[in-house]
């Protein structure tokens, strides 16, 4: 028998002229442990309250910059079967008053001996004025090592601490400059395995739509073990589920609106824990899109890529595109729109304060606007090594298996990562020949099934290294072939302009067979699509708008075929030319070498115009570099005999009057790693 949730009244401070997230469920509870969602029952007298964070919070927007006073509204907390109502009072806090962030609760996490774990610290903090907050500092006691990013992610490593609780001191600040200290309790455990923790998951799906659920994303393990999806309970009534245990995902589909809950089991290889998934299947509506504010951390001397659509939502069930960006009030930063869904932020002269800019999204009918707070990286983290996670992939005997290992690896300093060409493995028991192609680790499997571990190393642009492992599961021949499981794809395009959509063919076959892109399964309704070896070129019609969809088909080496869906968000073609954005480049090399750099490989044009180097634009304060342009995108420099750091600048043009200047930082070190040439696969039709 279900127990209804309990909802408590709330009070929040908000700023005039801003949208603000209201975490109304933080003080609500459910005796059954069900995942709760919030929905508005009665709107306030001013402002508009909408669902945010997939239903885990509410957001108030449309508040005038001159608004003052207080207002109230009513919401309902639901567990999917029953609900409870509560009232919320919001009060305008003018900018001439400011309170520091407050810690709502002191969290306690467990860590095993020698383990490394991550914790999202800002979930335990709120700002009384509704201001954006960020993590300014984290200090650990002896025996624990801590690193952090300003968005709240804390990485803790146990390095010989005695068993028992330890305190990490956190400093949290708001965008007005006020800060507070709090703590995170880390309970160091004795040696031995500890079970993983499964946190409740909430997803959205529209009727008739297949969505891929990733329940392991918010699960943790005190020992830092890699987690896997071990099992999934039966599908709830009215829905179908298809688990992919290899990738830790679940495909979910329901024909009708409703709330659907089911269980899954997460494993660390030894112990298991049960978790709950709730999927809200809401019918499409004509309400405008909902855009939520975002936070980005800009590393010193680098750039940051922001995916603001990740927490935005279209109630009609379509896709959203970013149609405009306004950074006019923040001259310190440059913001480039990439493929109509990503934003690359740079600060050519550096950034020493928190700034904000806005962006607008559209579903082809309605629009919504939100802000991005850009926080300068507090310190130079270029000495921090990359953080790597192990990978696992299947490959059939006699075939080639591939894994893009950097997909789950990261640099704490936001530096570029590169897989080194040298691999380590036990050659005596090897089940094939491992090798590196670009940033992929691959195995040409022999004829013997089994498991093979390969250690790869990653180096960042500052010379820091780290290593991790790829486990190749070599599959034997089988009389019963399983069909491939191609992934659904989301893409973005402008009306009348060609967009190349990359199709990932690696790791999509449950038997480890290599897979090829064989063609279209169905055609788009608002444009045309043509298929290449690993991509699809899509051209929407001149009057296309909203969301278009079609399917593509893949085939494995045994003849098994399957299809997946491509959805494309279509926005209007730009009417005004925008300047390109030149993203800083870095090169790590040895003294007295001739080095070639494709400086345009990471530069972007918001309009999709082709870019080229401007003739005669290369400049440097170090004449020994002798920079020269080899092509419209590539330059060549000779590194000095003396180790050090050197700069070259260049200008890039879009051919329509837009231009920008970029820089190349050349790190010259005596022991810089030598780089192997890159071989690229060839595709032959027969």
Q: Which of 67, 65, 66, 17 is CA-nearest to residue 46?
A: 67
**End position of a domain, from candidates 376, 408, 423:** 376
Helix H or strand E encompassing 172: strand 164-174
Residue 365 to residue 541: CA distance in whole angstroms = 17
Burial of 299 (0-12, 13-18, 19+ CB in 10 A): buried
**Amino acid 379: pLDDT:** 63
- pLDDT for 485-520, tens place per residue? 999 999 999 999 899 999 999 999 999 999 999 999
Reported confidence tier of residue 415, pLDDT bands at 50, 70, 90: confident
Note whether 311 and 364 are same-domain residues.
Answer: yes
In a domain, 268, yes or no: yes
**Amino acid 12: pLDDT:** 98
Note whether 468 and 505 are same-domain residues.
Answer: no
In a domain, 481, yes or no: no
**Amino acid 416: pLDDT:** 82
**Amino acid 584: pLDDT:** 82
Note whether 367 and 442 are same-domain residues.
Answer: no
CATH number at residue 162: 2.60.40.10
Q: What is the mean pLDDT of residues 37-44?
A: 96
Q: What is the dihedral of CA 212, 214, 215, 217, to 10 degrees?
A: -160
**End position of a domain, from candidates 122, 155, 188:** 188
In a domain, 382, yes or no: no
In a domain, 680, yes or no: no
Reported confidence tier of residue 348, pLDDT bands at 50, 70, 90: confident
For every residue of 120-152, DSSP letters joined together read EGGGGEE-TT---EEEEEEE--TTEEEEE-TTS
Q: Which of 387, 334, 388 is CA-nearest to residue 357?
A: 334
Residue 675 has pLDDT above 90, yes or no: no
**Amino acid 334: pLDDT:** 86
- pLDDT for 265-318, tens place per residue? 999 999 999 999 999 988 888 888 999 999 898 887 777 889 999 999 898 889
Which two three-digit tokens encode residue 115? Answer: 């383990």
Q: What is the mean pLDDT of residues 509-538?
A: 96
Q: What is the mean pLDDT of residues 375-393?
A: 82
Note whether 116 and 134 are same-domain residues.
Answer: yes
Note whether 60 and 80 are same-domain residues.
Answer: yes
Q: Which of 10, 618, 91, 22 is CA-nearest to residue 293?
A: 22
Residue 345 has pLDDT above 70, yes or no: yes
**Amino acid 685: pLDDT:** 66
**Amino acid 604: pLDDT:** 84
pLDDT over 70 for what percent of the chain? Answer: 99
Q: What is the dihedral of CA 494, 500, 501, 504, to 10 degrees?
A: -160
**End position of a domain, from candidates 249, 281, 313:** 281
Residue 264 has pLDDT above 70, yes or no: yes
Reported confidence tier of residue 686, pLDDT bands at 50, 70, 90: low
* Angle (CA) 464 467 459, round 5°: 30
**Amino acid 180: pLDDT:** 97
In a domain, 681, yes or no: no
Higher pLDDT, 134 or 461: 134
**Amino acid 380: pLDDT:** 65
Q: What is the mean pLDDT of residues 532-542?
A: 96
* Structural domain for 24, as ranges: 10-92
DSSP class of 300: T
Which residue is associated with the tokens 């009060």? 91
Lowest mean pLDDT among 241-245, 350-354, 390-394, 542-546: 350-354
Question: Is the Cα dihedral 601, 604, 608, 610 positive or negative?
Answer: negative
In a domain, 674, yes or no: no
Question: Is the Cα dihedral 161, 167, 173, 179 positive or negative?
Answer: negative
**Amino acid 680: pLDDT:** 79
Number of domains making up the chain: 7
**Amino acid 463: pLDDT:** 85
Q: How far is CA 373 from CA 194, 342, 358, 461, in A?
A: 38, 15, 9, 26
Q: For all residues of the chain together, what is the average pLDDT? A: 92
Note whether 558 and 496 are same-domain residues.
Answer: yes
Contacts of 376 (CB under 8 A, 6+ apart): 298, 300, 347, 350, 351, 352, 353, 354
Q: Which of 132, 101, 105, 99 is CA-nearest to residue 21?
A: 132
**Amino acid 304: pLDDT:** 86
Lowest mean pLDDT among 44-48, 202-206, 520-524: 202-206
In a domain, 536, yes or no: yes
**Amino acid 151: pLDDT:** 86
Note whether 328 and 365 are same-domain residues.
Answer: yes
């Amino acid at each position: 028998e279900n127990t209804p949730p309990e909802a408590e009244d709330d009070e929040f401070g908000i700023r005039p002229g801003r949208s603000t997230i209201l975490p109304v469920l933080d003080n609500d509870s459910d005796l059954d442990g069900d995942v709760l969602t919030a929905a508005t029952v009665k709107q306030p007298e001013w402002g508009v309250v909408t669902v945010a964070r997939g239903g885990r919070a509410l957001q108030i927007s449309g508040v005038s910059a001159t608004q003052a006073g207080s207002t109230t509204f009513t919401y309902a907390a639901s567990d999917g079967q029953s609900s409870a109502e509560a009232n919320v009072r919001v009060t305008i806090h003018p900018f001439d008053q400011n309170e520091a962030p407050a810690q709502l609760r002191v969290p306690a996490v467990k860590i095993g001996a020698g383990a490394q774990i991550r914790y999202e610290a800002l979930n335990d903090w709120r700002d009384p004025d509704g201001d954006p907050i960020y993590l300014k500092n984290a200090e650990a006691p002896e025996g624990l090592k801590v690193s952090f990013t300003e968005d709240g992610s804390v990485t803790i490593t146990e390095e010989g601490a005695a068993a028992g609780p330890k305190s990490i001191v956190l400093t949290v600040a708001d965008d007005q400059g006020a800060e507070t200290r709090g703590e995170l309790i880390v309970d160091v455990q004795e040696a031995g395995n500890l079970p993983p923790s499964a946190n409740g998951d909430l997803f959205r799906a529209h009727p008739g739509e297949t969505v891929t659920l990733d329940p392991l994303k918010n699960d943790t393990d005190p020992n830092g073990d890699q987690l896997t999806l071990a099992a999934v309970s039966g599908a709830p009534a009215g829905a179908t589920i298809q688990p992919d245990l290899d990738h830790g995902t679940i495909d979910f589909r329901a024909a009708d609106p409703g709330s659907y809950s089911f269980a899954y089991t997460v494993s660390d290889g030894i112990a298991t824990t049960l978790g709950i998934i709730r999927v809200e299947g809401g019918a499409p509506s004509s309400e405008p899109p909902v855009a939520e504010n975002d936070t980005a951390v800009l590393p010193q001397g680098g750039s940051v890529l922001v995916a603001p659509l990740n927490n935005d939502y279209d109630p009609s069930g379509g896709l959203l595109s970013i149609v405009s960006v306004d950074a006019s009030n923040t001259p310190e930063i440059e913001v480039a729109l990439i493929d109509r869904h990503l934003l690359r932020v740079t600060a050519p002269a550096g950034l020493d304060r928190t700034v904000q800019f806005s962006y607008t999204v559209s579903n082809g009918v309605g629009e919504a606007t939100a802000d991005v707070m850009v926080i300068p990286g507090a310190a130079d983290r270029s000495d921090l090594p990359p953080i790597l996670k192990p990978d696992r992939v299947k490959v059939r005997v006699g075939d080639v298996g591939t894994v893009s290992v950097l997909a789950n690896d990261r640099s704490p300093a936001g530096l570029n990562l590169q897989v080194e060409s040298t691999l380590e493995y036990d050659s005596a028991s090897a089940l094939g020949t491992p090798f590196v192609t670009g940033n992929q680790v691959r195995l040409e499997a022999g004829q013997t099934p089994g498991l093979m571990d390969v250690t790869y190393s990653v180096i960042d642009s500052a010379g820091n290294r780290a290593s991790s492992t790829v486990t190749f599961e070599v599959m034997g021949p089988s009389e019963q072939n399983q069909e491939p499981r191609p992934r659904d794809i989301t893409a973005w395009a402008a009306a009348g302009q060609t967009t190349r959509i990359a199709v990932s063919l690696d790791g999509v076959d449950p038997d480890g067979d290599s897979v090829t892109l064989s063609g279209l399964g169905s055609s788009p309704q608002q444009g045309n699509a043509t298929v290449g070896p690993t991509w699809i070129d899509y051209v929407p019609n001149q009057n296309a708008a909203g969301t278009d969809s079609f399917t593509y088909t893949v085939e494995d080496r045994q003849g098994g075929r399957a299809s997946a869906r491509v959805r494309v968000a279509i926005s209007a073609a730009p009417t005004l030319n925008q300047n390109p954005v030149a993203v800083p480049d870095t090169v790590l090399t040895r003294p007295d070498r001739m080095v070639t750099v494709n400086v345009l490989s990471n530069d972007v044009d918001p309009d999709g115009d082709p870019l080229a180097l401007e003739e005669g634009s290369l400049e440097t304060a170090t004449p020994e570099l002798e920079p020269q342009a080899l092509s419209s995108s590539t330059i060549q420099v000779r590194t000095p005999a003396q180790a050090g750091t050197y700069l070259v600048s260049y200008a890039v043009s879009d051919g329509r009057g837009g231009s920008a200047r970029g820089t190349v930082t050349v790190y010259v070190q005596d022991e810089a790693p030598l780089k192997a040439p890159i071989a690229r696969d060839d595709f032959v039709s027969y």
